[in-house]
Chain A
Amino acid sequence: MELIISLAIGIVFGSGIWLVLRPRSFQVLSGLMLMSYAVNLFIFVMGRLWVDAAPLTPPGTTPDPAQLADPLPQALVLTAIVIGFATTALYLVVMIGSRGLTGTDHVDGKEPEV
């Protein structure tokens, strides 16, 4: 399971890097989104991989740390998703503004001279 997860994160992040280095702003945006998905998964995994373990303690029982998943990374991921979503949306707006004002979707705001 560890190998599959780490390969998955690596592939998603790698694709993201490739896209971020492309010249069109939509590709950059997609790349940033892929990278943020990979990072979210990464944070999640940093709380170790658990199977069949809840991050919550049932009421009226004495919690046993060995039976519980680490709840903190899950809380962190939630915050990271929200913030990432908001900033990506903002980038999208700027992208549309740039397209409207410069007439091109190149990241430099002008077509490269061939």
Chain B
Amino acid sequence: MNQVVTTSLSLDWSQHLIMAPILLPLLVGAILAPLTQGWHRLKFWLSYASVLGMLATALALIQMTDGGHWQDGMGVYLAANWSAPFGIALLADRLSSIMLLLCAVLALAALHFTRLRWGRIGVHFHTLFQFLLMGINGAFLTHDLFNLFVFFEVMLAASYGLVLHGYNAERIRASMQYIAINLAAALLFLIGTALIYATTGTLNMADLSARVAVLSGEELALFKVGAAVLALAFLTKGAMWPLGFWLPTTYAAASPPVAVMLVLMTKVGAYIVLRLWLLMFSDGSGAAAGFGQDALLYGGMLTIVFGAAGMLSTDTAGRMAGYAAIVSSGTLLAVIGYGQPSLVTAGLYYLIGSTVAVAAFLLLIELIDRIRTPRSAMLALTMEAYAVEDTPDEPSGRGVPATMAFLSLAFAACALMIAGLPPLSGFVAKFGMFHALLNPADGGAIPTAGWSLMVLIVLSGLIAVISMMRFGVRTFWANAGAEPPKLHRSEVAPVLFLLGLSVLMTVQANSLFGYLARASDDIHRPATYVQRVLGTPTVPGPVSTPEAP
């Protein structure tokens, strides 16, 4: 009898692992906060260790969700041991695990890039970076609407600080708009959450999914209003037209490692829309089914058009990357709105591929800019403003050879990925999406929306080729006086790492598609999910009376 109680008292260690991606950056961020800038090496390595820890955790979670360690591939963690609809439930499934992995990989690249310069200006860069990671990871894991709001705010508050990193007039101007937009979006988030609570009486996503089906009449109408207002908040984050005007300015102004994380933040918006929409409005949700589907589909298409037009109209690389991110957001939203599980699989592959591509491009931009303005004069200014005592090592000693060749080849690879040309991952993603669009689930005719989406995807790829080529020709060929800039290994390595990942994604496309198909299958079966979350028992406390044998 006693023995039964003791064994059930201890939770399986693997379930605690679900909390690790949130707790690890929180702890490390808190430890880093009081350390002064004199310890910048220690700060960097602590931050690095935390990101490596996150990477290992994400890999372990993928292994456990996909390897049959947990029932239905979902691990549930009940925070503070409150049973599901009352407390906050965290859940790791295949989709959230792969998103955690993507976050850790991008963070690793961004952090490595900061080693030489960016991490040393501004005292709290690493602290804010860790809190940003905590917010992003939390948003991927939590399954409670209000807790999601909290993690969103953690993520945003850290990003406000990070966008300002390397304080200059341009960044301040971009931040003013970025912060104002996001504060307004946070208010919409609260209004939506409150309306949903008022109509369904719950904030737990699983419970919500179960209760939507029985809503009717006024309650249902009010619930739809709440869901639409809530969606506005996420779509602002995910930069759907006409809510995405803030994005290119902010991306172009932010320092490159920060911009890399911002790219991931737009994808957080798309991720939440995908998950919540399938939980609230999929086929099993009675009268509410299919609400807003067309808005997502056509809104996504308009976003593609807006992003493509923006790419054509700009000739600064930073803004071009911003518009590329908008195109990829638009494609994702249209894919979600199209409502076909096999298309979602390809869309997820596209999400990962395009995020990696735009991130690599953003890091590359700073290096390419040095061809035009040698010795990044602007950075020296900010260093002075912050009175950083030891100037960073001059990159001369351990520079990399053949810089021009490296820069132009890396640029070409980024262009291939963003435009979706063979042989890199962008092409595989587009091929997958076309395959899904040409083979509807019910075997019937392909709707007009499917054809128009395909046309838009092809056209946006063509426009990406044109604008990237224009930029490449001007920078590498038509720039006669260009001197090869000095690059440091720690700046080249992250770009190579991200490009290598893209090659790996292409080579391993089959197994990755298999995994994502299982992930897509999981989120398309809300009933199993609801049963898993609400059915998870709490751990009996030491004082509770054990049941009679």
Contacts and interface: CB of A to CB of B under 8 A. Distances in A.
Contact of B184 (A32, A48, A76): A32
A79 interface: yes
Nearest to B156: A87
Contact of A94 (B157, B160, B168, B193): B160
A86 B157 CA distance: 9
B195 A46 contact: yes
B190 A101 contact: no
B79 interface: no
Contacts of A47: 197-198
B172 A101 contact: yes
A97 B172 contact: yes
A109 B172 contact: yes
Interface of B is mostly: helix
Nearest to B168: A101
Nearest to B163: A94
B180 A20 contact: yes
Most chain A beta carbons < 10 A, residue from B169, B187, B195: B187
A101 B382 CA distance: 13
Given A91-B180, A94-B172, A83 B195 contact: no
B80 to A, nearest CB: 14
B157 A43 contact: no
Nearest to B170: A109
B179 A90 contact: yes
* Chain B contact patch, size range: 20 to 34
Contacts of A43: 190, 193-194
Interface residues of A, number: 33
Interface in A81-109: 83-84, 86-88, 90-91, 94-95, 97-98, 101-102, 107-109
Interface in B118-173: 146, 149-150, 153, 156-157, 160-161, 164, 167-169, 172-173
A28 interface: yes
A80 interface: yes
Contact of A46 (B149, B150, B194): B194
Contacts of B157: 86-87, 90
A42 B191 contact: yes
Nearest to B167: A97
B183 interface: yes
Contacts of A101: 168-169, 172
Given A87-B157, A97-B167, A42 B194 contact: yes
Interface of B: 146, 149-150, 153, 156-157, 160-161, 164, 167-169, 172-173, 175-177, 179-180, 183-184, 186-187, 190-191, 193-195, 197-198, 203
Given A73-B197, A109-B173, 20 more contacts: A35-B187, A42-B194, A72-B203, A73-B194, A76-B194, A83-B149, A83-B186, A84-B186, A87-B153, A87-B156, A87-B157, A88-B183, A90-B160, A90-B161, A90-B179, A94-B164, A94-B172, A95-B176, A101-B172, A107-B177
Interface of A: 20, 25, 28, 32, 35-36, 39, 42-43, 46-48, 72-73, 76, 79-80, 83-84, 86-88, 90-91, 94-95, 97-98, 101-102, 107-109
19 contacts: A20-B184, A28-B180, A35-B187, A36-B183, A36-B187, A43-B193, A43-B194, A46-B197, A47-B198, A86-B157, A90-B157, A90-B179, A91-B179, A94-B160, A95-B176, A97-B164, A98-B173, A98-B176, A107-B180
